[in-house]
Amino acid sequence: MPGVYISYPFCAQKCTYCNFASGVLPRALEPQYIAALTREIQATEWPFTPETIYFGGGTPSQIAPTDLAALIALIPGAPFAEATLEAAPGNITPEIARAWVDAGINRVSLGVQSFIQRELSRTGRKHTAEIVEREIATLRAAGITNFNIDLIAGLPGQTAASWNESLDWIERLEAPHVSVYMLEIDEDSNLGAEVIAFGQRYGARDIPNDDAIADFYETAVERLANLGIPRYEISNFARPGSESLHNTKYWTREPYLGFGADAHGFDGRERIQNTERAEDYVIDPKPERTPADPVGERFFLGLRLMRGIEPPFGPFASKIKKLIADGLLESTGDRIRLTPRGVLLSNEVFSEFV
Ligand code: SF4
């Protein structure tokens, strides 16, 4: 099921934990960016008819609905099996939700991260749990019943009690899909850089330790499974039938074209990546192509899925035997998959296939 990814790196604020190439960019750049996206999509010779679209970011819910509709209209294949828009809670009105539906959007991914006020305000997010609740009702009333809620395990000040409170909200809102990410500490986010520098801004001293974060993740796995939202990928949980069609193609190596700054694509043979900065992209997307690694990718992408992968295991047969003996992979008869411990040490496992 081939697809299209469109990146929109503009945000109302830079969240402390965010390590994406996105943030507060000059407003004057937005119309230039929409024009550049339009040019890039119009210049495409489609090697396939897309079945899914994903607007990621950044905050693509900031795109004016008329621009959103015009961009979608340039892509062949409508109506799409899945057309997702990432949204920051706080601005979803009945008019906007209706306009998204009219434009062809049928799934919304909400960057909630936490339902706890003190955790949210320390990260720079402006919404509250009540706003999220109201906006999900607004989406449902407009006909968008397929939505995702992002949560982050490891925010400053997070405790087992507050994490469980956020999971209570998932239950209350009857979310069909949840993504749980463990906080990443690197130089690319303000919070990560502060932690690395042993500073104390952004609550850097109040980050839960690695064991606590792993416990939060395991709690989510268990509680979400009990709610009928089992894990289908390391970070993704869904009610049966609500798994993301678009994101699944990343793990099964199906082709997709990427448009916009820092957008990635895969044509079946090569990985393609546009220039990272929006300021450069509006002048020239400068796509860089690198050959894909069909053998290794099948393992280190496919093993992210809880269903695992089938034989043949080719050049990796002996490594797989060792990983099984080490308790990081398990055989389910006709497939291999990560064990619960292998999930927590997945980067270590995947490095064996690179
Ligand atoms: S987390 Fe989302 S809204 Fe916040 S800065 Fe990153 S991309 Fe923007």
Look at residues 54, 46, 102 and name the one whose alpha carbon lies nearest to residue 77.
46
* Burial call 275-294: b when 16+ CB within 10 Å, e when fewer: beebeebbeebeeeeeebee
Closest residue by Cα to atom 2, ligand 1, is 58
Same domain, residue pair 206 and 110: yes
pLDDT band at residue 21, thresholds of 50, 70 and 90? confident
The number of distinct structural domains making up the chain is 2
> Is the CB of residue 90 below 6 angstroms from any atom belonging to ligand 1?
no
Range of the domain at 221: 3-250
**pLDDT tens column, 27-63:** 999 999 999 999 999 999 999 999 999 999 999 999 9
Tokens describing residue 230: 């089992």
Q: Compute the average pLDDT of residues 344-353.
A: 95
* pLDDT for residue 181: 97
Residue with CA closest to ligand 1 atom 7:
58
Distance from residue 292's CA to the centre of ligand 1 (Å): 29
**Residues 300, 221 share a domain:** no
Query: Of the candidates 327, 182, 334, 338, which has an alpha carbon nearest to the alpha carbon of residue 251?
Result: 338
Give tens-digit pLDDT for 287-341.
999 999 999 999 999 999 999 999 999 899 999 999 999 999 999 988 999 999 9
pLDDT of residue 325: 97
**329-331 and 288-291: which strand pairing?**
unpaired
Q: What 3-state DSSP class applies to 223? A: helix
CA 203 to ligand 1 center in whole angstroms: 18
CATH at 59: 3.20.20.70
- For residues 137 and 212, membership in a common domain is answered with yes
Percentage of residues in the chain having pLDDT higher than 90: 95
Q: What is the mean pLDDT of residues 162-173?
A: 98
pLDDT tens digits for 245-265? 999 999 999 999 999 999 999
Please tell me the residue having the least CA distance from ligand 1 atom 6: 18
**Cβ(173)–Cβ(126) under 8 Å?**
no
> For the whole model, what pTM was predicted?
0.96
Average pLDDT over residues 257-285: 97
Q: What is the pLDDT of the chain when averaged over all its residues?
A: 96
Q: Are residues 206 and 133 in the same domain?
A: yes
d(Cα 144, Cα 127) in Å, to the nearest integer?
A: 20
Domain boundary among 230, 250, 270: 250
